[in-house]
């Protein structure tokens, strides 16, 4: 196993990201588990300046929504961009430093959140580093566009289009989140726009970028339709940024933006159906016997599909009073995160033989772990939805009866409806931690002692024609 801390090309840099991917996911799952323990057993656990639910929730959001997202879109871009442009990356040292800088700043935000928890915002990002992260991202985007101008391929891979879109919306989310909270309406507006652009679009586009790559190259299938791919890309690009406002229906936000959010969320059916048709037709042509990769890709698509169904269903006018201002939005948020985490695992499995030259031996442990991860993530998605529906029903009933459910007897009634699902979620989080730990073992074992195989390489195309 040879991993260079100062890589000379994108293949060597990809090795670093493959090695650290299981560890980053393991960190995110561990922090989430610790936060959930403090949520359910706050009376029994010690409380300090750091170890309390409020601070752990911020650190968990920073780890899951920021560090994990940035790490994975940089990882996917490093590997797929050179494939898309048909040549090695130009100005690679600057590209490497930009990638290192943005991942480093997101990691540093976790440390600063522990040292200065008051400066860590609710959804992550500290006030110290927001501006610097934006500068580095703009520089990284500039390098990517410079490489696109030097491309040797006639057209850009659809995977790269999604990844670049994710990076653009990540940059926009940093600009949005640096806004001032003047009144409550500003708070709702900025948070909604940030969640839509950063989490919904960011995680969805990285997921779709990896999905389109794996459902063709990963399982040896032929893409059914580029037109349907374009409909998926532009549909999600224009619709997803508007979809979070509906969860503040009846609040201090203007009615017009809530109604726009409802209608555009219903419009998600168009890119979703185009994606479904494209996926089913494409995988029907697959020529691969690797069931572990195929099943993980399939279930990740199912999680993504169900998450979008939740988005659409929550836009029905007779359901929005129950689902708005509740935990149901959290089910959607984590649905996008879970789908990306799940598809990252077969992506790593696919890359290990090609960039490390080591085969993965799929034993009963890998097969059982694949089933465990698929089962846990699907069940967690539905449990989160049940929590949102039950809490929304209780909140709506209490509001109509004039008995608030945020304290007193009303709160106890609500807690009786959601305490059991929360306990099940905690157990599922433990199983998820086990699954990611086994995934880490498989990865490290394969790249250190797997059977040797042939690696792939990206050759530098000679400058024999105008770009």
Which domains, and CATH codes, for the chain? 10-449 (1.20.210.10)
Lowest mean pLDDT among 260-274, 343-357, 449-463: 449-463
pLDDT for position 246 = 78
Alpha-carbon distance values, 45 to 37, 196, 422 (Å) = 8, 34, 17
- Inform me whether the pLDDT recorded for 462 exceeds 50: no
Lowest mean pLDDT among 117-121, 213-217, 231-235, 260-264: 117-121
Alpha-carbon distance values, 36 to 33, 53, 378, 423, 467 (Å) = 5, 8, 18, 9, 53
pLDDT for position 233 = 93
- Inform me whether the pLDDT recorded for 284 exceeds 70: yes
245 and 258 Cβ atoms separated by less than 8 Å: yes
- Inform me whether the pLDDT recorded for 465 exceeds 50: no
pLDDT for position 113 = 83
Lowest mean pLDDT among 14-18, 144-148, 178-182, 352-356: 178-182
Which has the higher per-residue pLDDT, 92 or 380? Answer: 380
- Inform me whether the pLDDT recorded for 181 exceeds 70: no
Please identify which residue in the block is written with the tokens 């697959």: 286
Lowest mean pLDDT among 172-176, 292-296, 379-383, 401-405: 401-405
Q: What percent of the chain has pLDDT over 90?
A: 32
Lowest mean pLDDT among 143-152, 172-181, 217-226, 448-457: 172-181
- Inform me whether the pLDDT recorded for 19 exceeds 50: yes
- Inform me whether the pLDDT recorded for 457 exceeds 70: no
Please identify which residue in the block is written with the tokens 């494209």: 278
pLDDT for position 460 = 46
Which has the higher per-residue pLDDT, 421 or 82? Answer: 421
Please identify which residue in the block is written with the tokens 């586009």: 205
373 and 439 Cβ atoms separated by less than 8 Å: yes
Which has the higher per-residue pLDDT, 348 or 38? Answer: 348
pLDDT for position 391 = 76
3-class DSSP state of 290: coil
Phi, psi values for residue 247, rounded to 5°: -75, -5
pLDDT for position 118 = 80
């Amino acid at each position: 196993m040879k991993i260079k801390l100062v890589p000379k090309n994108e293949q060597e840099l990809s090795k670093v990201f493959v090695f650290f991917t299981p560890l980053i996911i393991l960190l995110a799952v561990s922090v989430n588990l610790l936060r959930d323990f403090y949520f359910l057993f706050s009376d029994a656990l010690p409380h300090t300046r750091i170890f309390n639910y409020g601070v752990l929730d911020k650190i968990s959001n920073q780890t899951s929504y920021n560090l994990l997202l940035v790490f994975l879109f940089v990882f996917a871009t490093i590997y797929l961009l050179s494939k898309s442009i048909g040549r090695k990356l130009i100005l690679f040292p600057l590209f490497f430093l930009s990638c290192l800088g943005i991942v480093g700043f997101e990691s540093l935000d976790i440390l600063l959140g522990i040292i200065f928890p008051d400066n860590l915002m609710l959804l992550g990002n500290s006030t110290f580093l927001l501006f610097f992260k934006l500068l580095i991202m703009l520089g990284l985007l500039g390098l990517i566009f410079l490489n696109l101008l030097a491309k040797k391929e006639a057209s850009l891979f659809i995977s790269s289009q999604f990844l670049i879109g994710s990076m653009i919306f990540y940059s926009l989310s940093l600009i949005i989140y640096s806004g001032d909270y003047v009144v409550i309406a500003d708070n709702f507006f900025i948070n909604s726009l940030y969640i839509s652009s950063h989490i919904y679009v960011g995680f969805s586009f990285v997921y779709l970028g990896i999905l389109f790559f794996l459902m063709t190259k990963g399982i040896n299938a032929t893409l059914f339709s580029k037109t349907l791919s374009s409909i998926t890309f532009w549909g999600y690009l224009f619709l997803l940024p508007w979809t979070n406002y509906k969860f503040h229906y009846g609040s201090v936000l203007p009615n017009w933006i809530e109604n726009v959010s409802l209608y555009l969320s219903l419009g998600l059916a168009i890119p979703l159906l185009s994606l479904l048709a494209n996926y089913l037709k494409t995988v029907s042509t697959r020529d691969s016997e690797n069931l572990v990769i195929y099943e993980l890709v399939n279930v990740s698509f199912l999680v993504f599909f169900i998450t979008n169904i939740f988005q659409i269903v929550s836009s029905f006018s007779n359901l929005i009073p129950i689902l708005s201002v509740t935990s149901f939005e959290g089910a959607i948020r984590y649905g996008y995160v879970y789908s990306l985490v799940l598809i990252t695992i077969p992506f790593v499995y696919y890359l290990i033989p090609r960039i490390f030259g080591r085969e993965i031996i799929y034993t009963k442990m890998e097969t059982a772990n694949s089933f465990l991860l698929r089962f846990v993530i699907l069940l967690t998605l539905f449990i989160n939805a049940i929590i949102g529906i039950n809490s929304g029903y209780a909140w709506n009933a209490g509001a109509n009866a004039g008995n608030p459910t945020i304290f007193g007897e009303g709160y106890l009634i609500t807690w009786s409806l959601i305490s059991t699902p929360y306990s099940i979620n905690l157990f599922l989080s433990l199983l998820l931690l086990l699954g990611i730990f086994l995934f880490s073992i498989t990865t490290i074992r394969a790249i250190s002692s797997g059977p040797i195989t042939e690696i792939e390489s990206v050759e530098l195309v000679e400058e024999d024609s105008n770009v």
